[in-house]
Amino acid sequence: MQRGRLRPGPRGARRAALWMALAWLGLAPGTAAAAGLTSPEALASLAAAAQQNGSGSAEAALVSRLLEAARGDWRWGSVSGEYVTSGPRSDKTCHPKNDSGRTKYLKEGASDAYARVLGAHLASDDALAAGARTHLLDLLDTHSFRGLDGDFGGDNQCILELAISIPIWIETAKLLEGTPAWRSSDRVAFQAWLAGQVYPRVAWASRKRSNNWGAAGSLAAWAIATYMDASVQLQELEPARIGLLAPAAAAAHLQIQRERMAGGFRGDASCPELGIQPDGGIPEELRRGSTGCAGRFLAADDSSLAYQTMHVGLLVLHAELARRAGDSSLYAQRLASGAPAILQAIRFVIANGAPDGRSWPWPESRLGTLIVAASFYGDARLATEADRDGSFRGGRTLPYARVTHSSVALQAVAEHSGEPELPEIGKPGQPRLAIE
C-alpha cells in the first residue's frame, strides 16, 4: 500500500462519481436537461451516494432494486400500425389492430421503458439507454387509435391509455437527451408523432371530460405542449377545430385542470357537485362505486376508492411536472376552507374528517402518488402513509418515485435549481406550502 496518499473525503468521492456520470452524458456540471420528474444530476447524486455509503445503505438498496427492474425482460414485444379499442364496453382495451393478444404496450410499457432510462443514468449503462430508445421509437409508426364507434368519445379506450402513459413516455425521452443512444432526429420524430397522433385526442379529453379521463387529458396535452418547440402549432379537432402555439396550448390545458379541480368546469359531468369538494371527495369518481356523488366518506373499498385515488394520482403528476417547470399553482390551489385541494383529496381517503367517516389505506400499488405529494406538503399523516411498504414501481402514474423522489435526488434537484431544500420523504419537514 502506498503511504502518504490522501483518500478523498465523502464530498470529494461523491463529486468524482457525479463528474463521471455527467461525462458519460457529455454534460458539464450545471448543465440541465429539460425539467422533469428527475434529472441526470439527481440520479448521478443518488448513484454516488450509493457507492459512497456502501452496499448496506438505503441508497444502494434503491439503486439495486431499480437496476433489477431496468434489466428485466421486456414483456411487451413490439407494436406498429393501427391501434383500436376492443370490447366489451365494460372492459375495453386499446391495442394494435393486428395483435390478438392485446398487448398493453402503452400504459405498461411506459414505466418499463422509464425504468431502463433511470437505470442507464444510475449505472452509466449505454445498453439500457439504447433499449429505452428502441421501445420509445417503436411507437412512432402507430396511428389511428380508434374507439368502438368513433375517434372521439368515452368508448375510445385508446384516448385514456394515451393520456395516462404519454407523460411517462415523454419523461423517458427527456432523460434520453444527451445520452449516447439519443439523436436530435429522434426528438424531432417523437415530437411529430405526439403532435399528429396524440395531442388531438388527449386535448379532446381535456376539454370535454370531467372525470379522470379529463384530468389525464389535461395532463397529457400540457406535457406534449411543454415538450414542443415554442414555434410549433398544435391542432385540435374536437370539440372544435383550433390551432394553438405550444405555449398557449400548455397554458390553456393547465387552466382547464385548475378549473376542473375548483368546480368551474362541467364538461360531461353526471353529478350536480363539481370539482374537489370541501371534504376532498371528487364526485365524478365517487359515483362510480357505492359512495355516490355526495358521499362524505368512502363507503367501501370499491370503484369509488379506485377512481378517487386514480384521479388524485394524475393531479399530483401534473402538479409536480408543472412545479418543476416553474408553476406551483396546482399544488397551491385551495378550497374555500383554505385547505390545499390536492392534499384534501388525499386526506379524504387516508384521514377522513367526517364525524361518522371512515378512512382507508392508500392502495399499495399507487404509493408513488403519496411519495411525490409528501415531497411538497408538510403533512405528517401524508408522510407516514407515503412511507408504507408497497410495490417498488409504485404505480403507472408516478413510477419509481422512491428513486426519483429519494431524499438524495430531491436535495440534488434543490441544489442545482437553487430552490429551498425539500422535506425528506417520510419525515415531516418544513412545508413548501403552509398547512393549516
Each residue of 386-407: pLDDT tens digit?
999 899 999 999 999 999 999 9
Q: What's the pLDDT band for 281 if we cut at 50, 70, 90? A: very high
Note the pLDDT tens digit of each residue in 115-136: 999 999 999 999 999 999 999 9
Cα of 292 vs its chain's centroid, Å: 28
Is 436's pLDDT higher than 70?
no
Asked if the bond preceding 361 is cis, omega within 30° of 0, the reply is no
Per-residue pLDDT averaged across 359-382, rounded? 96
Is 31's pLDDT higher than 70?
no
Contact predicate 425/386, CB 8 Å: yes
Share of the chain above pLDDT 90, in %: 83
3-state secondary structure of 85: strand
Share of the chain above pLDDT 70, in %: 87
**How far from 50 is each of 58, 117, 124, 187, 235, CA to CA, in Å?**
8, 18, 14, 32, 46
Q: Which of 77-81, 125-129, 415-419 has the weakest average pLDDT?
A: 415-419
Q: What is the pLDDT of residue 15?
A: 41
Residues 6+ apart with CB under 8 A from 295: 281, 286, 304
- Beta bridge partners, 93, equal 86
Q: What is the pLDDT of residue 13?
A: 46
Note the pLDDT tens digit of each residue in 154-180: 999 999 999 999 999 999 999 999 899
Which three cell numbers mark 76?
411487451
- As a whole number of angstroms, the distance between CA 374 and CA 117 comes to 24
Kindly list the strands in the beta sheet with 81-86, ordered across the sheet, starting from the edge strand earlier in the chain.
93-96, 81-86, 142-143
Q: What is the pLDDT of residue 218?
A: 98
Q: What is the pLDDT of residue 232?
A: 98
Q: What is the pLDDT of residue 414?
A: 80
Instruction: Give me the half-sphere count of Cα atoms (radius 13 Å) on the Cβ side of residue 116.
Output: 25
Higher per-residue confidence, 45 vs 24: 45
Per-residue pLDDT averaged across 278-294, rounded? 98
Is 214's pLDDT higher than 50?
yes
Q: What is the pLDDT of residue 417?
A: 64
Contact predicate 216/163, CB 8 Å: yes
Q: What is the pLDDT of residue 294?
A: 97
Note the pLDDT tens digit of each residue in 313-366: 999 999 999 999 999 999 999 999 999 999 999 999 999 999 999 999 999 999
Contact predicate 364/391, CB 8 Å: yes
> Residue 185, class by beta-carbon neighbours within 10 Å (0-12 exposed, 13-18 middle, 19+ buried)?
exposed
Q: What is the pLDDT of residue 77?
A: 95
Q: What's the pLDDT band for 24 if we cut at 50, 70, 90? A: low
Q: What is the pLDDT of residue 34?
A: 53
Q: What is the pLDDT of residue 327?
A: 97
Write out the E strands in 233-285. Answer: 233-236, 242-245
Q: CA 400, 406, 410, 413 torsion: positive or negative?
A: negative
3-state secondary structure of 92: coil
Is 28's pLDDT higher than 80?
no
Residues 6+ apart with CB under 8 A from 338: 436
Q: What is the pLDDT of residue 5?
A: 29
Q: What's the pLDDT band for 418 if we cut at 50, 70, 90? A: low
81-85, 90-94, 427-431: range with highest mean pLDDT: 81-85
Per-residue pLDDT averaged across 188-202, rounded? 98
Could you give phi then psi for residue 84, rounded to 5 degrees? -140, 165
Contact predicate 311/215, CB 8 Å: yes
- Report the mean per-residue pLDDT for the chain: 89
Per-residue pLDDT averaged across 90-112, rounded? 93
Single-letter amino acid, residue 227: Y
Per-residue pLDDT averaged across 277-285, rounded? 98
Rounded to two decimals, what is the model's pTM? 0.90
Q: What's the pLDDT band for 415 if we cut at 50, 70, 90? A: confident
